[in-house]
Structure 1
Amino acid sequence: MNFEGLEMIAVLVVVAVMVKVLEQFGFLEGITDDSVDDELEQSMVRHRPEALEHLEAETKFTKKELQILYRGFKNECPSGVVNEDTFKSIYAQFFPQGDASRYAHFLFNAFDSDHNDSLSFEDFVMGLSILLRGSVQEKLNWAFNLYDINKDGYITKEEMLDIMKAIYDMMGRCTYPMLKDEAPRHHVELFFQKMDKNKDGVVTIDEFIECCQKDENIMRSMQLFENVL
């Protein structure tokens, strides 16, 4: 596992898996497939016209992309929402060599913008739009929100350690060479040496964004998945 640009590892894992989910559900093929059933698309527009128009205005997706994403989402989630257990099971299939449950918990909370313990289609595409097509500022805000577990506006060492342990647990045997038990704490210390400019023991959103924007590795990593849709 390469730890250059440590601050974006969690976000890259998010995007990589979301791309796999899109591929599995047929989203990527469908968006570029002109043979999509127009009648089905129109039925979805009639079913949720206001929501689709709102999401087109609020996201970076076109109406056609939203229609196809909605079709796939409803096929896999007929109830229209995803609870945390289902979300964890989706994530677990991509990391059979490790335990993804803890990381999936943090990610679920980051996507659950209205904090109602379920992910709707709106939650899904709003987050996906930021991760795939958002501005640098939007992506960094999203990343900070993921790390800020208790949503108090600060990243503490305890929060960052929880995230890093979850990543190590999820990657499991994929890490080579095998990592020592103290590795997560070591990388948290590196994170704070770099980010905590005033040495007050917490990282603010301003410190986080300023430091990330000055790091070429981080900026480069944020562009890896910009053209997947």
Structure 2
Amino acid sequence: ISDKIAFFITLSLKQMRNVTLKSTEDEFEISFVCHRPDDLEILQEETEFSKKELQFLYRAFKNECPSGVVTEDVFKIIYSQFFPQGDSRTYAHYLFEAFDTNRNGCLSFKEFVAGLSLILRGSIYDRLNWVFNFYDLDKDGFITREEMMKIMKSIYDLMGKYVYPSMHDDTPREHVEKFFQKMDRNLDGGITIEEFMESCQKDANIMRSMRLFDSVF
């Protein structure tokens, strides 16, 4: 993991927060009656969000997706609005898959808030575990160089021409090699969750990056 990756995820979540919190509580209470999820109390028990926070999040979710679910195509369209200077489609695809835990191609409100709760309110272990699974694209329990390269390229595509400092063709690969030098302790070409956790928790910069999420919502 790097400060850049943590920053990009944080930035996208801050944008979601800005959309969510633009309405007042009074305005929300009027419309919330029509959109109240049946399992609000259950979600409050299963996540680290308060009832008011869940209400705000649900209204924003329903405003963007009146059907109550988000398809990947819709998710990409919403996400592209936050990064108009680049091509966010690939990164949005990976992020969507990380939230779509039941792998049915649709993101429900329950999946959405469960993921946000882990990222924003979870323990350091919860957050690092989520990030590991985000990188582990094929979900086989290992992060490979190929998977990390795909993620890094998607990040630079996301930022587009405004990446600073300007990157050259080898920049994503250089980041991947630094990542593996730090994480791949047994040099087998794959990073396990144990290697990832141990390396991250010993790195002050990584721990500081994880704490960026504390101020998002």
Question: What interval of TM-score do these two structures reach, taking the shorter chain for normalisation?
Answer: over 0.9
Compared CA separation, residues 133 and 123, structure 1 to 2 (3 A) = same
Cα distance in 1, alignment partners of residues 165 and 8 from structure 2: 19
Letter of the structure 1 residue corresponding to residue 8 of structure 2? V
TM-score (norm 1): 0.88
CA gap 1:93/1:40 in 2 versus in 1, 3 angstroms: closer
Contact persistence 1:15–1:132 (CA under 8 A)? no
Query: Matches of 2:165 and 2:55 in 1, distance apart?
Result: 44
State the superposition RMSD in angstroms.
1.7
Superposed CA offset, 1:131-170 (max 9, x none) = 1111100000000000000000000010001101111111
8 A Cα contact 2:85 2:159, kept in partner? yes
Q: Deviations over 1:41-85 (max 9, x none)?
A: 45544xx33x11111111110112112211221121001111111
Return the match for 1:82 from 64, 70, 79: 70
Asked if the contact 2:21/2:56 (under 8 Å) is kept, the reply is: no
Q: In the alignment, what sits opposite 2:8?
A: 13
SS at match of 2:21: helix
* Paired position in structure 2 for 1:120: 108
2:114 equivalent to 1:159:
no
User: 4+ runs of 1 displaced by more than 6 Å?
Assistant: none
Q: Residue 226 of structure 1 aligns to a residue in which SS?
A: helix
Is 1:28 matched with 2:28?
no
Structure 1 stretches lacking a partner, 5+ long: none
Identical amino acids, percent of aligned pairs? 54
SS of the equivalent of 1:222 reads helix
* 1:223 CA displacement: 1.2
Q: Distance in 1 between matches of 2:67 and 2:28?
A: 22
Q: Secondary structure at the match of 2:143?
A: strand
What is the number of residues matched between the two proteins? 217
Instruction: Assess if the C-alpha contact under 8 Å between 2:6 and 2:212 holds in 1.
Output: no
Correspondence for 2:53: 65
How far, CA to CA, are the matches of 1:67 and 1:177 in structure 2? 40
Aligned AA for 2:154? A
Question: TM-score with structure 2 length normalisation?
Answer: 0.93
Letter in structure 2 aligned against 1:74: K
How far did 1:130 drift?
Answer: 1.2
